Amino acid sequence: MPQLICPHCDQKISVAISQAGSKATCPSCQREVPIPTLRELRRLPDQSENDVPSVSAGSIRRLTSESAVGRRIVFAILMLIAGTAAVAGLFSGIRYYAIETPATTEIHIAEIRRMYTEVPASQLVREWQQMEKFGLDTTSPYIYKTKAVEKASWGRNGLIGLSVFAISVIGAAVLGIGESRQKKRESKLPS
């Protein structure tokens, strides 16, 4: 709503645009004030522009200090996650390098070929008959396969732990940079 200034008492009077060209009563001095035409009324300052609350430096500091506490809590949580992930990742990495796989499939096949060249023909015939009778299925995986799977699992866990560590540290760094920028802004505010 546009605002008029009473020519008698300098009181601000809010008027509706629909009142253009008529008269209004001043709420302070109770005198009649002529309302200008629509064209002139639109040039007057709007009440909503003048009603913007002023924000003091103290209220800004209070709001930023409340958000700073929240940022510090998130920073602490991220650093806790980073520390835990680093320990888990390093432990998994150490386990990965500590596990030795005694053989590979290629080495295993080469050993079987070497062994069968040294075995007498009668024993090969007996093994063939047992394979026909009982089948080729093994009851459990070979030990070297089990070790290889375990080693791969520790390696994957180590990579996941170190990835979580890196993401947490980056997040904490971003919060720290934001905190330092906030402190610079607060230091520029008037006391």
**Res 28: pLDDT:** 84
Q: The domain containing residue 124 runs over which residues? A: 57-188
Does residue 138 share a domain with residue 86?
A: yes
Does residue 62 share a domain with residue 24?
A: no
**Res 139: pLDDT:** 66
* Mean predicted confidence (pLDDT) in 63-71: 69
Does residue 102 share a domain with residue 31?
A: no
Does residue 147 share a domain with residue 90?
A: yes
Does residue 181 share a domain with residue 98?
A: yes
Does residue 77 share a domain with residue 46?
A: no
* Mean predicted confidence (pLDDT) in 60-88: 81
**Res 62: pLDDT:** 57
Rounded distance, CA 86 to CA 172, Å?
Answer: 14
pTM of the full structure: 0.51
Does residue 120 share a domain with residue 99?
A: yes
Does residue 43 share a domain with residue 65?
A: no
* Mean predicted confidence (pLDDT) in 73-90: 93
Mean confidence (pLDDT) of the chain: 81
Write down which residue in 29, 50, 71 finishes a domain: 50
Does residue 92 share a domain with residue 122?
A: yes
pLDDT band at 81 (very low <50, low <70, confident <90, very high): very high
Based on the structure, what is the number of domains in the chain? 2
